[in-house]
Amino acid sequence: MPELPEVETVVRGLQKTVVGKTIALVHYSAAPAKMITVSNSFNGQDFSTLLRGKQIHSVKRRGKNILISLSGTMTLWVHLKMTGHFFYYNRSTPLDKHDLVLIEFQAPGNSIEPFHLRFNDYRRFGRLRLFRDDELWQQEGLQQLGTEPLEITAEDFVALFRQRQRMIKPALLDQTVIAGLGNIYADESLYAARIHPRKITSRISKKKLIELHGHIQRLLKKAIRLMGTSVDSYTGINGETGKFQKYLLAYHREGESCQRCGATIIREKIGSRSAHYCPRCQRL
């Protein structure tokens, strides 16, 4: 699943390409019904009808969520889930069978712009939800989000985790605690801080948590600069892959040698998620 750096890369791409544009038409191409949700407050109006004629005011990120603010005081709330993508392509580019939603933009003279936005998702888990602005933050999935990892101070980070009795890896993945981290950056940060993913949060020293906080922010910023990590299908809106995968030291490296001590990186299921770590450098 795309994590904070990947979603931030998509958001920045959308900010550069579609902000200020007015939606002319919205087409569906075999999009499953569960993919698109329209708030009941719109009294049964269709998703495409509601979007038509709306201007895109801004695009922002909250955790792993994309929030597209529209005229008419409404927001298109997007979650890419496992394999969702936004592509900003020339309309002459052949359609892919997984291009499920197409958004066309108005050009001067009532014509259609040569570039349009595609929502592509081969596993079809992505979600596009339309809500009025005054009800958006009451929705499950947004209301409960924890703090942003690039905004929290080291002092608040320590307090947040020292008050919990949980294994550190599941705690980092809990979006109600920290919003935006996933397997990739949790594994890489724990490896950098030499913390075992099963370590109980309340038993981690203040000094070690401050170190972990620093590594999380450093790695996220570096990954954003490198347009994210492409180890599966993730790309930016122009189809370009990220480059942070070249710097992975733990994630996706099970069976390889630790670059610090030479021990073998292992992959272990912790809770319902996998963790990659060095059993020698990250002792429990």
From the list 54, 64, 129, 199, the catalytic residue is 64
CB 121 within 8 A of CB 102: no
The C-alpha R_g of the chain, in whole angstroms, comes to 20
CA distances from 270 to 64, 169, 171, 277 (A): 22, 8, 11, 12
CB 275 within 8 A of CB 187: yes
Query: Is residue 32 annotated as a catalytic residue, yes or no?
Result: no
Query: Is residue 127 annotated as a catalytic residue, yes or no?
Result: no
C-alpha angle with apex 70: 65 to 72, nearest 5 degrees? 135
Cα–Cα distance between 117 and 103 in angstroms, integer? 5
Cα–Cα distance between 79 and 126 in angstroms, integer? 6
DSSP annotation string for 162-174: HT--SBHHHHHH-
Query: Is residue 104 annotated as a catalytic residue, yes or no?
Result: no
CB 256 within 8 A of CB 166: no
Q: Name the β-bridge partners of 158.
A: none
Question: What's CA 13's distance to the chain center, in Å?
Answer: 14
From the list 52, 81, 166, 273, the catalytic residue is 273
Cα–Cα distance between 15 and 178 in angstroms, integer? 24
Query: Is residue 148 annotated as a catalytic residue, yes or no?
Result: no
Catalytic positions are: 2-3, 64, 273
